[in-house]
Structure 1
């Protein structure tokens, strides 16, 4: 099979296509013939090995332990282990893998997969697991969102942000999205009742206070964000962009619980997992039309490096996907 491979950290140009044997599924594994794989911010971080905190927590100190990038996957079940009960060959599935999804075949466990709704494409399904799960956990679990509350989504036009807007609307919230000028109309189509162009308007200036803030952008201080929360509101930080070489943008996530311990507001640095319950909830929301994956561009497997660089440049409206 063909698979994208990297032997060292660096710019996406370190990636290459190589031929290798397909993985053999174990007793509890599912072998998936990949049709599409999502590109999320974590793919760039792992490819580049930045911030260095990632290397220290187990991704590989001098070189990446995972040689093939990617976690999101959508495709057809090719083979199942003897203990697998939820899937059979030929099933259309989506989910995640720990072994890298930028390949023609991947091996994963059945609890990392869900059946793909027939109403969406493989490309759309591949855009969902990582970003959709992060948005769902940020709003429903960490944020404890209730119908009627006011939600502010920073980075509303990106991968996680585009799902966060739609899920918050589906849960009955009043949503304000913050994004660049080029994404204002796009964020409106996601269902946001109000959209703020950060080039022309400061979201802290209008006196509005929010019950929940989901920050996927990573450029505002904790004190600045706390200033637009209600007294017992919640801030959920998703990911970490920018910052220094060691912690990157994850410094705020590490400081958040320390500040929260001495405040009436809850500040949370989200650690999201693509667990089976989340995937099944997302599957149901996809099936009933509550959420629709927004895909900016699709790249072939051979241009995976370009896909990662395009995402990192920060211009996509929604998600970037690699097709196999």
Structure 2
């Protein structure tokens, strides 16, 4: 496919170029079976956008919630009766195919990674230029696709919410998962003493990420083991908030980054409870929502380049296997990240 890079009239296809692309689409909320491979129209970037030839797109639990439309609260943001965006997916890595007329920071041929509001499970995706940065030379496109949502969440939790620094003790539950695997490495990079909680099969993996201590939850309950931590990032909700707080120092910080709940609120119910409890305790209960920031992608790119953090890729799927990928993510037992190659 050929694409004209710039013109006075903005972006457009050259005569005779392909005007469609392969994508995964859904027209209703539901299980992975609602996802269908399809031929759709090629998106064209606006003045500040970049058209990315997608090489890989990672998926995470948030994508699963958006696909199912449960908890129902997600529909306020993504469409009440049906998905507002037919093509799912937010994280991607690939090569710039074309740029909008106002874009000066990127050029066709650049390898980039970042996120879009939607539409990354496709051959091409339009992304605001400010949502993309260059892929570090020591990363593959597949590895780069794992970074945006999960690593940014881990970075903001450790740096901005918990203020992790040398001398602090940090415990991460779900330490082998997408956010957890990055959080363990980031906390170590910031100089903390890190404990990871995982199942037996993931003990060696979590230790390889740099964890100073690993707790196998199948044989040890960290909340009743007698040790207290300055920071707990709870990615699993295997324990009630009251039990987790028993493992927190009197002035420690608990970040609940998960929750089960019902069909209406889901994880939000636990987050609301944590916020209410925080006002009545010297402990800091700090649920948070991560925000897409280009500067954070640049910070992560530096950590990746210097080898202080490295992605963990669990499985890769083809684009037409997107339903299988999200079914696996929804089961909740991933080791690192799940990536769809395009």
Give the Å deviation of 1:142: 0.8
Q: Is the 8 A contact 2:259 2:270 kept in 1?
A: no
Give the Å deviation of 1:247: 1.2
Partner of 2:24: 4
Q: How do residues 70-89 of structure 1 correspond to structure 2 at under 5 angstroms?
A: 70-89=89-108
Q: Is the 8 A contact 1:219 1:242 kept in 2?
A: no
Q: Distance in 2 between matches of 1:237 and 1:204?
A: 14
Give the Å deviation of 1:83: 1.2
Give the Å deviation of 1:58: 2.1
Task: Give every structure 1 segment of 4 or more consecutive aligned residues whose post-TM-superposition deviation is greater than 3 Å.
Answer: none
In structure 2, the gaps of 5 or more residues are 1-20
Q: Distance in 2 between matches of 1:281 and 1:192?
A: 21
Aligned residues: 322
In structure 1, the gaps of 5 or more residues are none
Q: How do residues 1-324 of structure 1 correspond to structure 2 at under 5 angstroms?
A: 1-55=21-75, 57-238=76-257, 240-324=258-342
Q: Normalization by structure 2: what TM-score?
A: 0.92
Q: Is the 8 A contact 2:224 2:247 kept in 1?
A: no
Q: Which is greater in Rg?
A: 2
For the residue of structure 2 that corresponds to 1:20, the secondary structure is strand
Q: Normalization by structure 1: what TM-score?
A: 0.97
Give the Å deviation of 1:18: 1.0
- Let me know the Cα RMSD of the aligned residues: 1.0
Q: Distance in 2 between matches of 1:24 and 1:162?
A: 36
Give the Å deviation of 1:218: 2.3
Q: Is the 8 A contact 1:37 1:127 kept in 2?
A: yes
Q: Is the 8 A contact 1:38 1:126 kept in 2?
A: yes
Q: Distance in 1 between matches of 2:53 and 2:252?
A: 44
Give the Å deviation of 1:304: 0.5
Q: Deviations over 1:143-175 (max 9, x none)?
A: 111112100001101000000001111111111
Q: Deviations over 1:105-160 (max 9, x none)?
A: 00111111111001110000000100000000000001111112100001101000
